[in-house]
Amino acid sequence: MQEAALQIEEVLLVCPVRGPLGISALAKDGLTSTEEARRVDFLRFLIEERNYPQDHIRVEVVTVKNLGESGRNRMQADVIVYDCPWPEIANSPMPQTLSHAILVAEIKRDSSKKRKGVLYQLEPALRLLPRLDTIGVYWDDENRTLFTKTVKSKGEHQEITVRSDSIANLPDYGIAYHTKAITVNTLTRPANLVATLQGIANVMRSHGVNDEQQRYKETVKLLLARYIDERKAKVSTSKQLKLQVLDGPDSGFMSRVERMYTEASVRYARVQTLFSPIARPELDEDTLRDLVRGIQGFDFSSASSETMQQVFMTFVPVVFKKNLSQYFTPASLIDTMVKMVAPGPTEKIADPAMGTADFLTAALNYCTERGDDDAFGRIFGIDSDASAFDLAIVNMILNKDGQANLRREDSIENHMRWSEEMDVVLCNPPFGSNTVEKRVNVLGEFDLGHQWVADDDTPGHWLKTERIAESQQLGILFIERCWKMLRPGGRLAIILPEGYLSTASHGYVRQWILDNLIIRSLVELPRRIFVKSNADLRSNILVAEKKMPGVSGPRYPIHASMVRRVGYKLGGDFSPLPLKDKATGNSIRDSHNRIVLDSDFRRVLIEYSATPKTLERSWVDATVADIVCRTDLDMKPRRLAPRALRNIRNLRAGGAIPLQQIAEVIESKIDLLTDIGRSELRRVVEGQDIRAVEGIVVPHFPERCWEIAERKQRKVYQLCHRDIVVGLVRPERRNVGLLLVEGDDIVGSPDGLAVVRVLPDKEQDYPTGWLFSVLRSEQVRLQFWTESGGTSYGKLDSERIENVLIPIPQKQERIRIAQRVEAWVSSASQYSLAWCQIGTQGDRRPILNSPLTGLFDDDNT
């Protein structure tokens, strides 16, 4: 993929008439980018689909002046089209100019303004324009309607009558309008398909259909019937659609509609929830006529994959009475993984844990958008869950209908299904300690279903034994299941929890990956990306190739990156987050007028496309050697990211030494209950008590030892004045503090912090103040961050802290830094002392979150 194809144009919008539009162009008209975007959509429709000459079109045109009693009012059209180029009549008087007007349009941002837009703007403008053949158009996010006018005699007078029609009947430039049946080649794509279908559901409500499940079920049935209608119309001689309301009585309306529903029920027979027991529409004719009028001008087959996912997430859960949150994966993530493996025009694609088939629909769309019409027969998916399988069928139908090769079965048990048949496998497997396989006969068929032991002769190497494990997480087995499906050289993109890539207990999993796959990319995802799936953990993308037989694999480059912004709101409703213009906050759109999501995936694709397949002299980023050189075979993307690697290499080149050579991480603990006493008072320090910005440690208010032991744990560190305290959780926040408070009653919780003390014989050369400053430096922070492990928040341990590399400047510089720290300590101590002189000890007691606080004295000290 070329970088240029992924870059965003430095404009908010591109208008086919006015050209690139920045914020200054919008501000001139007092518009937002959303309002202007509607107009751009309409202009593209006129120029690209109806062949209107660009130089015949003007925007924001005054059609009538001198209205009202004072004559100061005027009527303005959003878009107006003339029968000749505008420059030819630009200097003509207004009446003469308006005599050339053949189309006038009113554009609104959303459908809530339709009534006023039509009644008070479009229709009056249409009536005042002199030509009888002038056409009007109303256009918003949901409605696209054509208006024409005729003259009718009423007694001795003539009256202008305005009537509406489908936008599909807007004629090409130069062709006179006349009422006709809608054909498939005249349809226009809806701007907001979800809003259009919601409008259909609301029409049913107005007809007395009060059950939401029935409304949504009929909405989906109508959509599928329309799919059949459009496909049949494309190959028919007349191109005429069946689902439309014709002029006049149209006595054949119901028979046409029922025929489309019957054909849809046959074509989509696997979705029994929709068309069983009644294949026909379960609505009366009047309701159906209103529904069909609402959709008859729209092209549903060409809707984007993002749009169809929104339709799927909105309507299908209600029909099936299922919550799709557990299956939600952001479209930006799915599309990125598909683009990274880039399925070719002859390649088979599979997902052995397909869920609702989001990966498969994205892969299908990727192929068909590149002209690969044969892809429908090369998409394969498996899932054992009945609900997920039914939802996958509907999802595939809504996305170009690739349902033929979906199977409902146990993919792990049927581990030889499609063995070595696939070129591309995409997967987001179930993972976690609660999703395990325990069947001995099944586990025995997997290398990763066996027990593995550390190789005593080769540190960091693992050996598979003949003993079958008592159980194994399904997420781990699915790595091997994907591998089984791939042909040698086939490509895999899979989502894995970070624990598989970093924790010591899963070292054998990393050994298996290195032995059987060539790692092409490792991308860290934000922690809350799967929070709706009850998987609030750090996860990663692994992109790899199946090794060819007998090839051990030489050194090769690895793309490593991180994603923090995914284009959607994480942890909430997962609504899209557009990229904003920094100066104004307006949403930025691409050259096709589509909202650009605020996502890091665009950058990831650019980086990945620039990564060579074989090691080149110019390559300075991660290689497989950066994994195998470590005894823990750590594969965390953040450790392999270019910035992290450069930091380590620079430190080593500069003579940095491990922390343990000049300081110790305290291991000894005391027992609160036996070494001190249950009723004694102590001030405890936890990881959250390190103020990362200031570098100060603030102990809790005094508590009884039994309270601390009950709330946290019995064995704690005895803290001393000027101890360096390192927070173990989320060390990327620079959680390193210095204990400035004096007293022998301060203890630390080992669960959240570590205590670092300079070795007594090193204090003179390496002062505590200097070491405190170094541990808060960016060079060390990056190491703490990249070395932290775990599947949720990153967490350090004592061994990793001891091995962190410390840059060692000249002794004179170390002394100078220590003096600066001493000056800060003095200032901070004076601040703390001054604060403690304000009020009493009781004034500083923390306020508990209790309705009883303040009502009586509960002082048990």
Per-residue pLDDT tens digits for 14-45: 788 877 776 555 544 445 556 778 888 899 99
Residues 288-347 pLDDT 10s? 999 999 899 899 888 877 788 778 888 888 888 777 666 667 888 999 999 999 999 999
* 708 and 672 Cβ atoms separated by less than 8 Å: yes
* AA letter at 404: A
Torsion of CA 416, 417, 422, 425, to 10 degrees: -90
Average pLDDT, integer, range 606-611: 96
Check residue 30 and give its pLDDT.
47
Check residue 714 and give its pLDDT.
93
Token digits of residue 348: 């088979």
Check residue 809 and give its pLDDT.
95
* 800 and 787 Cβ atoms separated by less than 8 Å: yes
Look at phi and psi of residue 71 and say left if phi exceeds 0, alpha if psi is from -120 to 50, else beta: left
Q: Confidence class of residue 249 from pLDDT cuts 50, 70 and 90?
A: confident
pLDDT of residue 73 exceeding 70, the answer is no
Check residue 538 and give its pLDDT.
82
Check residue 1 and give its pLDDT.
40
d(CA 303, CA 311): 10
Q: Confidence class of residue 587 from pLDDT cuts 50, 70 and 90?
A: confident
Which DSSP symbol is given to 55?
Answer: G
| DSSP helix/strand/coil, 468 | strand
Check residue 850 and give its pLDDT.
53
Transcribe 630-641 into DSSP letters. STT----HHHHS
pLDDT of residue 554 exceeding 50, the answer is yes
Check residue 8 and give its pLDDT.
41
pLDDT of residue 70 exceeding 50, the answer is no
Which residue, among 173, 153, 150, 212, has the nearest Cα to 47 in the 3D structure? 173
Check residue 658 and give its pLDDT.
97
Check residue 152 and give its pLDDT.
81
**Distances, alpha carbon 349 to alpha carbons 342, 544, 548, in Å:** 10, 15, 19
Residue scoring higher pLDDT (11 or 69): 11
Which residue, among 726, 717, 719, 720, has the nearest Cα to 749 in the 3D structure? 717
* 699 and 656 Cβ atoms separated by less than 8 Å: no
Check residue 3 and give its pLDDT.
40
Give the number of other CB atoms < 10 A from CB of residue 611: 17
Average pLDDT, integer, range 537-559: 88
Token digits of residue 553: 């694999």
Average pLDDT, integer, range 252-261: 94
Give the number of other CB atoms < 10 A from CB of residue 277: 5
Check residue 674 and give its pLDDT.
95
Check residue 589 and give its pLDDT.
77
Residue scoring higher pLDDT (527 or 105): 105
Percent of the chain with pLDDT over 70: 91
Average pLDDT, integer, range 351-364: 93
pLDDT of residue 284 exceeding 70, the answer is yes
Check residue 4 and give its pLDDT.
39
| DSSP helix/strand/coil, 74 | strand
Average pLDDT, integer, range 220-226: 91
Q: To the nearest whole number, what is the mean pLDDT of the chain?
A: 87
Average pLDDT, integer, range 346-359: 94
pLDDT of residue 196 exceeding 90, the answer is no
Look at phi and psi of residue 567 and say left if phi exceeds 0, alpha if psi is from -120 to 50, else beta: left
* 91 and 97 Cβ atoms separated by less than 8 Å: no
* AA letter at 24: S
Check residue 6 and give its pLDDT.
40
* 667 and 656 Cβ atoms separated by less than 8 Å: no
Which of 106-110, 633-637, 657-661 has the weakest average pLDDT?
A: 106-110
pLDDT of residue 858 exceeding 60, the answer is no
Check residue 610 and give its pLDDT.
95
Phi and psi dihedrals of 430, rounded to 5?
-70, 135
Q: Confidence class of residue 7 from pLDDT cuts 50, 70 and 90?
A: very low
* 59 and 33 Cβ atoms separated by less than 8 Å: no
Q: Confidence class of residue 84 from pLDDT cuts 50, 70 and 90?
A: very high
d(CA 521, CA 353): 21
Q: In what order do the strands lie in the sheet with 670-671?
A: 670-671, 715-718, 746-748, 681-685, 703-704
Residues 496-511 pLDDT 10s? 998 899 988 999 999 9
Check residue 283 and give its pLDDT.
93
Transcribe 768-823 into DSSP letters. HHHHHHHHTSHHHHHHHHHH-B-SSS-B--HHHHHT-EE----HHHHHHHHHHHHH
Average pLDDT, integer, range 384-410: 86
